[in-house]
Amino acid sequence: MTERFPTQVYSEIGELEGVIIHSPGPEVENMTPQNAERALYSDILNLSVATKEFNQLKGVLEKVAKTFEVKDLLTDILKNDKVKENLLDKICRHENAECIKYHLLTLEEAELARQLIEGVILQKDTLTSFLNKERFVMRPLHNFFFTRDASFSVYDHVFTGKMASQVRLRESLIMEAIFDFHTSFSTRTINPLHLKSDNSKITIEGGDVIVARHDILLVGIGPRTTSQGVDFILEQLKEMNEHQHIIVQELPHSPESFIHLDMVFTMLDMDKCLIYEPVIMKMNRYQTVHIYAEGGKVKYIRERENLPEALKYLGMDLEPVFCGGGDDSWFQEREQWHSGANSFALGPGKVIGYARNAKTVEELNKRGLEILKATDVIRNKVNLGDYNKYVITIDGNELPRGGGGPRCMTMPVKRKHVNW
């Protein structure tokens, strides 16, 4: 009998037990320089190099937790004809591709899963289609290896992301179907698309949502998540917890490396966080707002000095560790651009980061985290049980060019509770 994973994410740093990833495939190369920007890319990744780097991340995750692949999960649920037809109906309707629905229904589940991710090629069998400059009738999901955004776990629920770009909508529909119908998961999904009222101004992506503690949620607002998106989350959480804090961090809209909160702030341990100092610590430049709800009602909304101070006020006194080191703003900016602040916690004080961000890794080492190479972990040259605190470094020469780091590429479904 398949083990069912109930959603359980009550902190960002609890020991990881279950996680969903998507290994990048041909979809990341199924573009040209002309349409890369439309796909939210500034460049085209080298798949062979990106795959080697991603396999380091995957190899480490498989050492410590149950690791699920999106394509495998999608293939499984497509074996159910009703699920298959319902999902295709939603996708084709949202993408104005009803003309290919019946063709897709004839495909075997593995082939259908592949095409839903890698793209459905336009058949040049009429003059109109022959003259069409598009290669795909259903575009590839170039960004799907960033599984954090399309769905995200909050306590014992899974929120479906309402993506800022229509290019990524199919990712959310797939993830919602996986959580609703796959036998490996037991959870309740929450999707703003299902609101009967106007949801046009709501956008939410998982990179902007961080579960700090069982009663504290951090949310970034900026290019990908709107204030209306935060209000939607607040409405859902007011009834879940007797006491609920949401700390909202305003983000710059440019450059593109600031698209999500986790590109400038991630948690490392019970007493440490990794930050990009120019955005997080500057009072009155980018607002930090504290919302407190009790008994299903908002009690107050107040501005705080910055994110660490807001957390300290709530009893979480976190020492900020600076992305790029604390001495040179040039290195800080350079390493933030390559996702230096985007760490992923396997447990308290046990994180994964990119090796290329040498100043950040050095700073983590100064704070007591042993530096371990992902390749050594995978090959059993080092035993993680021998270390109390560590940063595992994966090669990051190609993956960061897609615009994200280890946290972006992981969607936890279950973590152990932290004894605060």
**Residue-wise pLDDT tens digits, 116-129:** 999 998 777 776 66
pLDDT at 33: 57
Long-range contacts of 375-384 (CB under 8 A, 24+ apart): 375/56, 377/59, 377/60, 377/63, 378/56, 378/59, 378/60, 378/63, 384/63, 384/64, 384/350
Q: Is the pLDDT of residue 216 over 90?
A: yes
Query: Buried (b) or exposed (e) across 118-139, using 16+ Cβ within 10 A?
Result: bbbebeeeeeeeeeeeeebbbb
**Residue-wise pLDDT tens digits, 155-189:** 999 999 999 988 899 999 999 999 999 999 999 99
The pair of three-digit structure tokens given for residue 61, joined into one six-digit string: 């995750």
ω into 406 cis (within 30 of 0): no
pLDDT at 39: 41
pLDDT at 52: 97
5 forms beta bridges with 185
Least confident interval from 111-125, 129-143, 258-272, 307-321: 129-143
**Is residue 245 within 8 Å of 291, Cβ to Cβ?**
yes
pLDDT at 359: 96
Average pLDDT of the residues in 64-74: 98
Average pLDDT of the residues in 333-361: 96
CA dist 239 and 236 (Å) reads: 7
137 pLDDT band, cuts 50/70/90, is confident
Cβ-Cβ contacts under 8 Å for 298 (sequence gap 6 or more):
234, 238, 291, 292
Average pLDDT of the residues in 207-229: 96
Q: Which is more confidently placed, 17 or 167?
A: 17
pLDDT at 29: 82
pLDDT at 28: 87
Q: What share of the chain has pLDDT > 70, as a percent? A: 94
Mean pLDDT of the chain: 92
Q: Is the pLDDT of residue 236 over 90?
A: yes
Average pLDDT of the residues in 312-320: 97
pLDDT at 42: 53
**Residue-wise pLDDT tens digits, 34-59:** 554 444 445 678 899 999 999 999 99
CA dist 88 and 78 (Å) reads: 10
> pTM for this structure?
0.94
Average pLDDT of the residues in 415-420: 94
Average pLDDT of the residues in 185-208: 92
344 alpha-carbon distance from chain centroid = 10
Q: Which is more confidently placed, 135 or 296?
A: 296
CATH topology of domain 5-67+143-415: L-arginine/glycine Amidinotransferase; Chain A (3.75.10)
Average pLDDT of the residues in 223-249: 93
